[in-house]
Amino acid sequence: MLLVAEPILGEEEKAALAAVIDDGWITMGDRVRAFEQAFAEAHGARDAVAVGSCTAGLHLVLLALGLGPGDEVLVPSMTFVATANSVLYTGATPVFVDIEGVDLPLISPSDAAAKCTERTKAVILVHYAGYLPDREAWRDFAQSRGLLLIEDAAHAAGLPQAGRIGDAAVFSFYGNKNMTTAEGGMVFAEDDAVLDTVRQLRAHGMTSGARQRLTGHASGYDVTMLGFNHRMDELRAAIGLVQLARLPAWNATRRDLAAHYRRRLAQDCPDVVMPFADPRPSAHHILPVLLPAGIDRQRLADDLRGDGVQTSVHYAPVHSFTFYRERFPGVNLPRTEEFARRTLSLPLHPKMGTDDVESVTRALARALAHQREDVPQ
CATH number for 295: 3.90.1150.10
Residues 257, 303: one domain?
A: yes
Q: Residue 6 domain-assigned?
A: no
The reply to whether 35 and 21 lie within a common domain is yes
In this structure, the answer to whether residues 16 and 165 fall within a common structural domain is yes
Q: Domain of residue 78: give its range.
A: 11-242
Both 300 and 166 in one domain: the answer is no
For residue 61, give Cα distances in angstroms to 117, 163, 197, 249: 22, 13, 9, 30
d(CA 262, CA 265): 5
How distant is the alpha carbon of residue 33 from its chain centre?
22
pLDDT per residue over 71-100, tens digit each?
Answer: 999 999 999 999 999 999 999 999 999 999
Structure pTM? Answer: 0.96
Q: Which of 195, 197, 202, 204 is nearest to 223 (CA)?
A: 204
Establish if 81 belongs to a structural domain.
yes
Is 327 part of a structural domain of the chain? Answer: yes
Same domain membership, residue 191 and residue 58: yes
Q: What does pLDDT average to over the chain?
A: 96
Residue 349 domain flag = yes
Residue 1 falls inside a structural domain: no
The verdict on 152 and 118 lying in the same domain is: yes
Q: Which of 115, 121, 177, 351 is catalytic?
A: 177
Q: Which of 206, 222, 242 is the last residue of a domain?
A: 242
Q: Which residue, of 208, 242, 276, is where some domain finishes?
A: 242
31-60: pLDDT as tens digits: 999 999 999 999 999 999 999 999 999 999
Same domain, 169 and 190: yes
177 is catalytic: yes
Domain boundary (196, 211, 242) is at: 242
Domain count, the chain: 2
Name the nearest CA neighbour of 150 among 70, 101, 83.
83
The answer to whether the CB of 344 falls within 8 A of the CB of 274 is no
Q: Contact, 169 vs 149, CB < 8 A?
A: no
pLDDT of residue 372: 86
Q: What is the pLDDT of residue 115?
A: 98
pLDDT in tens, 264-317: 999 999 999 999 999 999 999 999 999 999 999 999 999 999 999 999 999 999
